[in-house]
Amino acid sequence: MKNKKIIVFIAYLLISQIGFGQTDFPTKFSVFCQAKDTLAERRLLEKWQHEKPNDPELYTSYFNYYFSKSKNEVVTLTTEEPEGENLILKDSLNQITGFLGAQTSYDEFYFTRGINYINEGIRRFPNRLDMYFGKIYAYGQHKKWDVFTKEIITVITYSAKNKNQWVWTNNEAVENSEDFFLSSIQSYINQLYRTGDDRLLNNMKQISETVLKYYPNNVESLSNISVVYLLNGEYDKGLAPLLKAEKINPKDYIVLGNIAQTYKLKGNKEMSIKYYEKMLKYGDGQTKEFAKEQIANLKK
């Protein structure tokens, strides 16, 4: 009996050790990433793939590994101010002589490997929104704007199919999924706009038109399309989506202000004042002051 008890006890210990000894792959991968220990990351990924090949976090981790590996940052001295943080260099007369900053390039081999892994992750787990957004982020950082736009359109189209039943890391459900999804898409459009590259206005328009195909009452997308037309000097075409947006939300003071500005550009002072007065009615404190100033100028 004693030997049987010992055997049972030993067996219990082994089971306990197996339970507590199981690798928490995502946590360990995060630790190695923070330590920038790429060799440990690689070894862990290989073990992870062998033991848990159907783990969705494996694919996001492989993507992160290769995306990080693809980045090359070089400190450069330039006469034109680079993007991001930089150090301004001045001479003895306090005149700017140059800028010291980091420029980032990407190794296409490693970048593509990362994309391949996240594509496989999306194929296996099509409702993992973080995978789509991770890929879009990577293309944005790489400034591959056409592919960036194409991927955004792809995920918008799929959002209508899965009715925004999205999950995130560890397959946790995304709260207020439709609002979160559409606000994220708007942030990508803002990213295109902030480049200051007029060639990307059509990309903004394509994305917004796709949103409206599935979400016809999305005021932000109507405004985006209007902005593209207005920047191209097509005032009548720019006015139409704004008036539609006003019908959807007649108290949206940003829309009202854009309508007022459009009428101003068209030379219609009367209608411009009318809409600035609406803006004055529904806007916040700073907006009200702006509307008052515009009305005063138009009445001079």
The model's confidence at residue 94, banded by pLDDT at 50, 70 and 90, is: confident
CATH code for the domain in which residue 291 is found: 1.25.40.10
Q: Is residue 82 part of a domain?
A: no
pLDDT digit string, tens, across residues 178-224: 999 999 999 999 999 999 999 999 999 999 999 999 999 999 999 99
Considering the chain, what is the average pLDDT of its residues?
A: 88
CB 79 within 8 A of CB 51: no
Q: Is residue 207 part of a domain?
A: yes
pLDDT digit string, tens, across residues 249-264: 999 999 999 999 999 9
pLDDT for residue 170 is more than 70 = yes
Spatial strand order of the sheet with 96-106 comes to: 71-78, 96-106, 86-90
Give me the pLDDT at residue 73, please: 75
Q: Is residue 16 part of a domain?
A: no
Cα–Cα distance measured from residue 7 to residue 105, given in angstroms and rounded to the nearest whole number? 60
Examine the domain organization and report whether 250 and 212 are in the same domain: no
Domain residue limits at 259: 241-300
Question: What percent of the chain has pLDDT above 70?
Answer: 84
Q: Is residue 292 part of a domain?
A: yes
Q: Is residue 78 part of a domain?
A: no
Phi, psi angle pair for 177, to nearest 5°: -60, -40
CB 245 within 8 A of CB 223: yes
